[in-house]
């Protein structure tokens, strides 16, 4: 692990998730999309959220309670501000949108600029191309509660609450999604009640990631072989249902629900963890270093700056759809995907060289210094003078 206590393998996997999301957004239906997404049920969005929970658990375990809450609040503030900015950009370019699906309505259709800003700020406006960050804002609130309970050694309570919310969201999904618009009939793509289960499970794994028992488990060949078997089973079932039609009718519908994404199925959650473990072991293995090194050189910077990479992707997606429409399933779509990956990689390297620190979030008022008594002040002054 690096001196910054980051795990390069996790950054590489998160970078691969970014690459997957870029390809899925900008070149849907292309050959590049076919060979990277028409293989297995999970994709970059699944890994993106799973890794967010995992890394958050790892980081929070190392922090004191106050500092952990401050760090979580700072991150939530940044993600919320990014969401609002992207939503406003989507609304701004909406009148010129020439590609489907239309991201959102214009500001006039949403009740004017102030109404639009209010809807964006309160997470009631979630355009289809930029709705994952609002999911993150809610998940960070979930994390604040989960971490507090874990610190109180109430891990089982966290698990029970998370499973209960999942069951409630599966039985009645209508309440579990943020709205596309404040008065719209349809919710956003993500059933938050289902996605929080994977996020919380990953957070708990991250909390215990560096314990001896977890490290022994991660190094166990049986776990790796089991995860590899689950991954291969996911590939076979996806191909049988979606590519070759070997499974159809009710069994195919049941599998699609089991591995569902919008409302996250248990199968997709298990498969997501299996793929994570397989990739992690492969990337950490010295035997595969020569093969994975070029991949790591591309993906690791993207993983370190994953939020910035997503913002760049969303900005290109919105602007291209309005001012430079193109055929996503053709060569042009693949070219734009490569361009965005290169731009995001370049930006990540630039930020590595010139880092910018966000101001800390203070959760208590700053206290004024208490003046020392005259005698102590005079004594301190004499000591300072003596050292000059």
Q: What is the pLDDT of residue 316?
A: 96
Residues contacting residue 15 through CB under 8 Å, at least 6 positions apart: 298, 299, 300, 301, 302, 303, 304, 306, 309
Please check whether residue 28 is in contact with residue 44, taking contact to mean a CB–CB distance below 8 angstroms: no
Q: What is the pLDDT of residue 377?
A: 44
Q: What is the pLDDT of residue 291?
A: 86
Q: Which residues of 123-147 are buried (b: 16+ CB within 10 A; e: fewer)?
A: bbbbbebbbbbbbbbbbbebbbebb
For residues 89-99, average pLDDT: 90
Q: How far is CA 283 from CA 15, 270, 290, 294, in A?
A: 13, 20, 10, 11
Q: Is the overall model pTM greater than 0.85, yes or no?
A: yes
Specify the higher pLDDT residue, 370 or 333: 333
* Least confident range of 65-79, 95-109, 271-285: 95-109
Q: What is the pLDDT of residue 107?
A: 86
Q: How far is CA 355 from CA 44, 78, 84, 202, in A?
A: 26, 15, 23, 28
Banded pLDDT at 186 (limits 50, 70, 90): low
Nearest to 73 by CA among 122, 138, 131, 140: 140
368 pLDDT more than 80: no
Q: What is the pLDDT of residue 184?
A: 56
Banded pLDDT at 74 (limits 50, 70, 90): very high
* Least confident range of 107-116, 171-180, 195-204, 328-337: 171-180
Please check whether residue 9 is in contact with residue 284, taking contact to mean a CB–CB distance below 8 angstroms: yes
Q: What is the pLDDT of residue 378?
A: 45
Q: What is the pLDDT of residue 102?
A: 66
Banded pLDDT at 286 (limits 50, 70, 90): confident
For residues 64-85, average pLDDT: 93
Banded pLDDT at 387 (limits 50, 70, 90): very low
Local structure of residue 187 (DSSP, 8 states): B
For residue 379, count other CB atoms closer than 10 A to its CB.
12
Q: How far is CA 268 from CA 46, 210, 261, 364, in A?
A: 8, 25, 7, 41
Mean confidence (pLDDT) of the chain: 88
Q: What is the pLDDT of residue 388?
A: 41
């Amino acid at each position: 692990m690096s001196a910054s206590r980051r795990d390069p393998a996790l950054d590489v996997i998160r970078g691969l998730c970014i690459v997957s999301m870029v390809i899925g957004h900008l070149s849907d239906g292309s050959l590049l999309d076919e060979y990277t997404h028409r293989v297995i049920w999970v994709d970059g969005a699944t890994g993106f959220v799973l890794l967010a929970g995992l890394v958050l658990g790892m980081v929070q375990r190392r922090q004191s309670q106050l500092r952990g809450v401050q760090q979580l609040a700072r991150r939530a503030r940044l993600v919320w501000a990014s969401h609002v900015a992207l939503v406003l950009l989507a609304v701004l370019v909406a009148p010129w949108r020439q590609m489907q699906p239309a991201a959102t309505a214009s500001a006039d259709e949403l009740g004017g600029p102030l109404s639009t800003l209010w809807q964006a700020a309160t997470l009631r406006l979630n355009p289809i191309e930029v709705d994952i960050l609002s999911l993150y804002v809610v998940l960070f609130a979930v994390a604040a509660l989960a971490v507090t309970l874990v610190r109180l050694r109430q891990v089982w309570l966290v698990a029970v609450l998370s499973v209960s919310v999942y069951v409630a969201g599966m039985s009645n999904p209508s309440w579990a999604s943020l709205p596309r618009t404040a008065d719209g009939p349809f919710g956003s793509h993500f059933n938050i009640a289902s996605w929080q289960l994977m996020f919380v499970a990953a957070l708990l794994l991250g909390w215990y990631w560096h314990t001896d028992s977890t490290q022994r488990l991660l190094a166990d060949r049986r776990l790796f072989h089991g995860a590899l078997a689950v991954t291969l089973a996911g590939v076979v079932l996806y191909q049988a249902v979606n590519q070759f039609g070997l499974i159809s009718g009710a069994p195919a519908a049941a599998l699609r629900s089991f591995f569902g994404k919008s409302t996250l199925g248990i199968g997709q959650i298990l498969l997501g963890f299996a793929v994570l473990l397989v990739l992690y072991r492969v990337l950490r293995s010295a035997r595969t270093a020569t093969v994975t090194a070029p991949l790591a050189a591309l993906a690791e910077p993207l993983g370190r700056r994953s939020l910035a990479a997503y913002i760049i992707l969303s900005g290109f997606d919105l602007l291209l759809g309005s001012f430079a429409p193109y055929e996503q399933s053709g060569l042009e779509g693949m070219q734009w995907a490569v361009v965005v990956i290169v731009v995001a990689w370049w930006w990540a390297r630039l930020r590595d060289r010139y880092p910018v620190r966000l101001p800390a979030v203070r959760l208590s008022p700053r206290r004024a210094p208490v003046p020392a008594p005259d005698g102590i002040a005079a004594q301190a002054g004499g000591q300072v003078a003596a050292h000059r």
